[in-house]
Chains A and B, each alone.
Chain A
């Protein structure tokens, strides 16, 4: 990277925060490697819990709009996530939903197949590794000797960042490809014209297939759906044509089709193409269309081979889907 700081410009103030996340997004930022020198030459990191010792109260003390860019990763699972989303929104000029969880709900969003009660019961009572004879459950308040302790409230439903606050841009990926982050970062540093607000940045409008070098033909009909381990992958034919559900046709490019290059089908973390109302429905429609049978019983038999349609087609996007969650 050759764009070191031009000293006339004040350095950008940047924040990174994680909501309900695995930490992978934060690591993807660290993955800039030596380009980190360019980043810190152009930006001051004012808040980043995983890397810096800054406190919430430091953020609260900042004037509104103090931060130039906030990369918010993680979904909104609890009241703390929500509180910080609201706070960072207020303090940031640009709030970017960074990574699949903030963008679409991501893997934590699969929690929407359950509610708090079910999740707590599993985690604190029934899971094989749990020993909790007193059935102690998390409380939001606890009167300890030292005083009242508060824990954030765990919500029934996982939300995307934009279901809680107004988001300026979305950077998809689980995690986003670091090169894309640098491109976006340098565009902001160089004062390039930014795309229309609310759009997805750091990803292409075209799908994985556009880049993917596996051979695609017109013959996509599927008689049997296979799990990836069930096929003897020839490493060159489109996964769909080998009966393996690959979400590449419905997923934006930008990751460099990493999974497919690694001979694993795309799972859709980069999210849908522009103007798609429901991320999973489109792929479901395409996959349904390709079933090679006309008799209801035969179709049902083939459909049965897709063990978990909801988890397959909405792996990263359940909270952002039209239905958002399972009705319990």
Chain B
């Protein structure tokens, strides 16, 4: 190993880090450590001038190891690796210390936070000292794309990619395309037909030669990595193997089960219907009670299952406008029917939506506010003399009165949840799920359609509740990202794989079944285990399972991690010595 010449850079992140961590003191103290040639701090290390600082130091001081203490490596590790590479240094001779997400943002004591930051920096220095150069490897991107979900999102993305001349495999678990939009009559706020919208898309998809649709199909397992994924489909007649370079998860939504919300009486009272059931009445042009009568009173209950800790804490975003849409449609169809909205807040943030709200407000509907955090209207069967089917009881927040509302039909604006297959798909595709059960994006603001697994994108309501324009935007964004990667043609793949030292491997076979990807096989001639580095995803489990130390997990070797531990505890060791000295 060449003598380490390490450059250490501590980021202020404006004041995000520097308000809680004494970056200057750390810079100074680190500067006195052995092998540290440069120790600096700077306002924004990730900015161009910040990166240039590193690049010019590498050139000027012939640095061969770099440590940046800043935000989470999950945010800027790649940024700095690129900068280091631009300076001619192998990008893996680099380590980040996370002193923002895991220090300055979570602690309140400057002294303790500074001590902790310092120990993280020293640990990074100890680890980077043992880093090895890893050679860049690229693989060709398979231009085919797998899209899971044949709703409006999946179909839109499929068309964008297919119309650019590339193959798309569209997987639909149902026996037809269209998803939830195909069950909707009109769209808000312009009252255009959802049916026309979705039917024209289905036609285009069905007629596009580049799109192959698989109906009644579920994905069990996906193997491979960005550029070269593969999956085996079990079709009715035969198995089919698909190979593709990227994938879009567009698995869509599931309405919350209304029976889980007991107060609301769904299932007990025949004329309590969900929004999607009401859409069917609208599509048929037949708004009638179960008994076949025209309703005199319709109550629309908002936020059913949304914005309530008991059910879903989030807002489902589309129900307010859909409820207004119903108000308009009912008013046109049944001019004499009374329309009541039991709502909590009106959320009308989309383009044209606030206007839609004020127009609808003028069309003779009664808006009654309830406290959705603590309460939900309760429904009971009306008595014989009530001249309506159902009586809703609620506390009206604005008047401060308990009121009863007559209704012949009650429409529940059911919340949106991620589709029930989201877990299984997440597992197959190797992506995470957020606390509300939706797919988790790579970055909530800067990269909402990518995931932490390269080559896997998410779009539409499987990422969070959203309306059609937002779903379509995400679909087209994901398609654009994939088209970019196809046009580049190559992608860099994980270098931090496992590798077997054949001089040590004793052929005990322990590792072989440990690998979840079957990347390890036994070479009968050499009598050693062999890792297929293209399949290996670098989890490092085999390295820990290997009793001889023959398998090392690149970039996370035993030596690197053990040094990191030493570095991590160097500060507290010194500190406790100091304390003991003081006590003496």
Chain A residues within CB distance 8 Å of chain B: 205-210, 216-221, 238, 240, 248-250, 253, 272-277, 282-283, 285-286, 289-290
Contacts and interface: CB of A to CB of B under 8 A. Distances in A.
A249 B547 contact: yes
B215 interface: no
A218 B558 CA distance: 24
Contacts of B522: 218
Contacts of B514: 289
A272 B550 CA distance: 12
B13 interface: no
B508 A282 contact: no
Contact of A273 (B513, B544, B550): B550
Given A216-B508, A218-B512, A207 B527 contact: no
Interface stretch (B56-64, B236-244, B350-358, B499-507): B499-507
A286 B545 contact: yes
A210 B527 CA distance: 8
A205 B247 CA distance: 45
Interface string B503-523: 111111110111000000010
B547 A207 contact: yes
A206 B547 contact: no
Contacts of B507: 209-210, 216
A240 to B, nearest CB: 8
Given A276-B549, A285-B545, A289-B545, 15 more contacts: A205-B504, A206-B503, A206-B504, A207-B506, A208-B506, A216-B509, A218-B512, A218-B513, A221-B513, A273-B506, A277-B562, A282-B546, A286-B508, A286-B510, A290-B545
B504 A273 contact: yes
Q: Considering the complex of A and B, which 10 residue pairs feature the smallest CB-CB distances, nearest first? A: A207-B506, A249-B508, A250-B547, A286-B547, A289-B545, A209-B508, A249-B547, A209-B506, A218-B512, A210-B506
B510 A274 contact: no
Contacts of B510: 220, 240, 249, 286, 289-290
A295 B209 CA distance: 48
Interface in B472-527: 503-510, 512-514, 522, 527
B332 interface: no
Contacts of B216: none
Nearest to B557: A275
Given A218-B522, A220-B513, A249-B510, A286 B504 contact: no
Nearest to A275: B549
A253 B562 CA distance: 26
B573 interface: no
A253 B507 CA distance: 12
Contacts of A277: 558, 562
Contact of B506 (A249, A283, A290): A249
Interface of B: 503-510, 512-514, 522, 527, 541, 544-550, 558-559, 562
Residue of A217, A272, A289 ringed by the most chain B CB atoms within 10 A: A289
Contacts of A218: 509, 512-513, 522
9 contacts: A206-B503, A216-B508, A220-B509, A250-B548, A273-B504, A273-B548, A273-B549, A275-B559, A276-B549
Nearest to A247: B547
A286 B546 contact: yes
Residue of B505, B512, B513, B548 ringed by the most chain A CB atoms within 10 A: B548
A277 B561 CA distance: 12
B192 to A, nearest CB: 52
A34 to B, nearest CB: 33
Given A218-B512, A289-B514, A206 B546 contact: no
A275 B559 CA distance: 9
A219 B513 contact: yes
Contacts of B558: 275, 277
A49 B129 CA distance: 47
Residue of B506, B510, B522 ringed by the most chain A CB atoms within 10 A: B506
Contacts of A285: 544-545, 547
A283 B547 CA distance: 5
Contacts of B549: 272-276, 282
Nearest to B513: A218
Nearest to B552: A275
A248 B507 CA distance: 11
A291 to B, nearest CB: 11
A18 to B, nearest CB: 31
A274 B504 contact: yes
Contact of B508 (A219, A248, A272, A276): A248
Given A218-B512, A218-B513, A273-B549, A289 B506 contact: no
A217 B507 CA distance: 10
A248 B548 CA distance: 10
A274 B558 CA distance: 13
Nearest to B542: A289
A210 B504 CA distance: 9
A289 B504 contact: no
Contacts of B562: 277
B217 to A, nearest CB: 29
A277 B560 CA distance: 12
A109 to B, nearest CB: 20
A220 B508 CA distance: 9
Contacts of B513: 218-221
